[in-house]
Structure 1
Amino acid sequence: MINQVTLVGRLTKEPELKWTTEDRAVLNLTIALNRFRKNKRVDNDADFIQCVIWGKRAEATAEFCSKGQLVGVIGELQSRQYLNKEEQKVYITEVLVHQIRYLSSRGKGENVVNISHEEDE
């Protein structure tokens, strides 16, 4: 079976690094992707894809990324479920990020950065 996703889009908000009770870094991001139809960009039409990054890759991404920055991610789709406060089942599908590439800089003179921490796998 193949489960690989490659996306290029812009971050919708500032990354906020969180820590689990086991002291492991986790970062949830939303990437906005413009829609295209018949090789034309559709104005004001975008998809918002949830992504999760773990470990050292999450720490580096929180340090180097900011809202509006263009990023490329490679990962896999995963789905999960939980019960909300009203005891209703909520399903989530997200991209588990294995590699992230920062395609635009945060400021003048900064280069493209590629972060791939295989030891987090």
Structure 2
Amino acid sequence: MNKVILIGRLTKDPELRFAAGTGNAVTRFSVAVTRQFKRDEADFINCVAFSKQAETIAQYLTKGSQIAITGNIRTGSYDAQDGSKRYTTDVVVENFEFVGGKGSNTSSSNNDFSGNNSDFSATPNDSFGSGFDNDMTPVDDGDMPF
């Protein structure tokens, strides 16, 4: 099984292009993902999104924006202009969700949009699509038995 789950921040603005011939949107971007046990270290993962997802990511995300991605790893190679062989590794986005605003460490209701390959949906203030009531009364932790 080839499945990847990433949560990180964009290292630069996404690059939106359109494929020659088909005109399909393609967006390339890189995500900085902190390591689990060494918070001061990060891995920089190259990602690619297609079609409506590509357009949405390019429109709403900029450098520093936080994103959650599920996808799969694709490897490839090409011959560079100097004649050398270059190898690539990218995560192809299957689903994504805007996790928080730029520079924010928590989720922001202003950026609760999500997208996937089968159906793009953008519903502000309801990223789960289940009609959660935003005026819910918080539970007093002093009443908990543990």
TM-score range, shorter chain: 0.7 to 0.9
Alignment partners' CA distance in 1, 2:71 and 2:109: 29
Counterpart in 1 of 2:53?
Answer: 57
Q: 1:83 aligns with which of 79, 85, 89?
A: 79
Bigger proportion of residues as strand: 1
Secondary structure, counterpart of 1:118 in structure 2: coil
- C-alpha separation in 1, matches of 2:112 and 2:97: 7
- Which ranges in structure 1 are unaligned for 5 or more consecutive residues? none
Structure 2: which 5+ runs fail to align? 103-107, 121-146
Give the aligned residue type for 2:6. Answer: L
- Provide the secondary structure at the position in 2 that maps to 1:101: strand
Amino acid corresponding to residue 69 of structure 1 in structure 2: S
Question: After TM superposition, what 4+ stretches of structure 1 lie above 6 angstroms from structure 2?
Answer: none
Q: What TM-score does the superposition give when structure 2 sets the normalisation length? A: 0.72
Determine the C-alpha separation between the residues in 2 that align with 1:16 and 1:49: 15
Tell me the distance in 1 between the aligned counterparts of 2:119 and 2:25.
14
Q: Which residue of 2 aligns with 1:26?
A: 26
Find the residue that maps to 1:42 and give its secondary structure: coil
| Residue matched to 2:14 | 15
C-alpha distance in 1 between matches for 2:119 and 2:32: 28
Q: What TM-score do you get using the length of structure 1 for normalisation?
A: 0.86
Query: Does 1 or 2 have the higher relative contact order (CA < 8 Å, sep 6+)?
Result: 1
Specify the SS of the correspondent of 2:56.
helix
Report the CA distance shift for 1:118/1:34 in structure 2 as closer, same or farther (over 3 A). same
Q: Count how many residue pairs are aligned between Structure 1 and Structure 2.
A: 115
- Measured in 2, the distance between the counterparts of 1:33 and 1:19 equals 27
Tell me the CA shift for residue 32 of structure 1: 0.2
Residues 64-118 of structure 1, C-alpha deviations (whole Å, 9 max, x = no match):
1111011000000110100001111101011010111100135x87231111131
Task: Find the counterpart in structure 2 of residue 70 from structure 1.
Answer: 66
